[in-house]
Amino acid sequence: MMSRDIKRIAVYTSGGDAPGMNAALRAVVRTASYNDMHVYGIMRGYEGMIDGDLKRLERGDVGNIIHRGGTILKTARCQRFLTPEGRRSAYESLKAFDIDACIAIGGNGTFTGASVFSDEYDIPFIGIPGTIDNDLYGTDFTIGFDTAVNTAIEAVDKIRDTADSHNRLFFVEVMGRNSGFIALNTGIGSGAGGVLIPEKNTTPEALIDFLKKGARRKKLFSVVIVAEGNQSGNAQDMARIVNEAFDFYDTKVTIIGHLQRGGSPTAMDRVLASRLGFAAVEGLLNGKENVMAGLVNNQVEYTPIIEAITKQKTPSNDLLRMAEILAL
């Protein structure tokens, strides 16, 4: 494939915000500027693309944002982009600004939209994985994941103090509707007494047996991490089941929720975002199209977007087994 003459690019953030998105944006703008490219930021993701809400970004516009959570470009869910008419309006907006290529920062939904759009119109895309769920194939880590796990672990550390003081059993729910990466890493990192994730069906009976083993060792307090998409139920459901099975556990539920999405990104997320933002622009200059820039074994790899969103990425069985053993 011959390289295109890429002079004007648009960059946008879409879907759920993730700490590190601003760091990725900064890297995109400054790398593009270094290569004499014009950069336009699209406000509010696909909504702004349809409405033509684009603004020129210079190097100074992305100063002092590497440490900020959220996204200065804002983000939004966009039902209009699901329609052919909406995508046509988005294409006309991009052409009005003479955009040669787009860089999408987001997760599965963002990349699905980019894939459909690139099939219909001749505008190349490169994706940067920005989602706390860490569920995209083609990268060992997604931007925001490390920060989300650190936020969850900090919360669990505080909850553990109360659990220990009052001999309580806490069910702590973390994000992860379809992915258990946050729950598993939070469980390991916080020394939790159990982890329940969507990828592994831990039945209520198995959980009760596990808690009985702890009770026989006089372990009257514990913390169980539950991904919101756990097959047997969320934290509220599991707490109710345990309450019905035991008369000596003082059971409580804490839902960490959107706290995991906010806050200043960790050093790991800032470096990851910077590397992938840089790689996205370099990829466009080297003729890469419709791929996601990811990090595999600490090396930048480009994965076709269609593979990133269709191939399944699941937690390591070794980590799952280790989490079970360390929780005993």
35, 72, 293, 230 alpha-carbon torsion, rounded to 10°: 180
299-304/168-174 β-pairing = unpaired
Q: Out of 17, 100, 133, 269, pick the active-site residue.
A: 133
Terminal CA-CA length for the chain: 55
Burial class (CB in 10 A: 0-12, 13-18, 19+), 2: exposed
The three-class DSSP label of residue 103 is: strand
Active site (annotated) includes residue 36: no
Query: Residues, the chain, total?
Result: 328
CA distance 12 to 178: 24
CA distance 31 to 242: 54
Which residues are part of the catalytic machinery?
133
